[in-house]
Amino acid sequence: MSLAISGAELEKIREHARIAYPNECCGVLLGKEVGGRKLVVEARALENAQGESPRNRYLITPDVVLENDGYARLKGLEILGFYHSHPDHPPLPSEYDLENAWPWFSYLIVAVSQGSPGEAMSWELAKDWSRFNRETLKTDH
Ligand SMILES: [Zn+2]
């Protein structure tokens, strides 16, 4: 599938990544699936609950996912995926990201180099859970 996000929402994510540096930031992507495309309406910043190694891992607890699912439904939206940043690393999923991913959801990763947000890529777990496939990221700068 592809993920479409407005330039304004992507900028919010990049700003969150900049502020969180040198730690990873994270959040949820809320929107709608329309005709095989995921359309992000709102990127919602969350707290990184990974207390031990927040510089190279992020954690969103199940209760926070549930709370955001309820928030999304109230707005007629659903959770399309999650975003996080990679401080001083390329926006490629790590082994940890692979172990903690769920099918169907989009995983948007933004690289942050020395505090400056860089390239963003979006990933989706393969159906056999063995790896991530890159998905098209569409934005209207
Ligand atoms: Zn990661």
Query: Ligand 1 center to residue 94 CA distance, Å?
Result: 5
Predicted TM-score (pTM) of the model is: 0.96
47 confidence band (pLDDT: 50, 70, 90): very high
Is the pLDDT reported for residue 66 higher than 80?
yes
* Per-residue pLDDT tens digits for 114-138: 999 999 999 999 999 999 999 999 9
1 confidence band (pLDDT: 50, 70, 90): confident
Over residues 27-48, mean pLDDT? 96
Over residues 63-89, mean pLDDT? 98
Over residues 9-17, mean pLDDT? 98
- The full length of the chain comes to 141
- The mean pLDDT of the chain is 96
Is 24 catalytic? The answer is yes
Is the pLDDT reported for residue 141 higher than 80?
no
Is the pLDDT reported for residue 100 higher than 70?
yes
Q: Which domains does the chain have, with CATH numbers?
A: 2-135 (3.40.140.10)
Question: Which of 24, 95, 99, 124 is the catalytic position?
Answer: 24
Query: Ligand 1 center to residue 85 CA distance, Å?
Result: 7
DSSP notation for the chain = -EEEEEHHHHHHHHHHHHHHTTSPPEEEEEEEEETTEEEEEEEEEE-----S-TTT-----HHHHHHHHHHHHHTT-EEEEEEEEEETS-S---HHHHHT--SS-EEEEEEEETTEEEEEEEEEE-TTSSSEEEE-EEEE-
Query: Ligand 1 center to residue 117 CA distance, Å?
Result: 15
CB 43 within 8 A of CB 29: yes
Query: Ligand 1 center to residue 95 CA distance, Å?
Result: 8
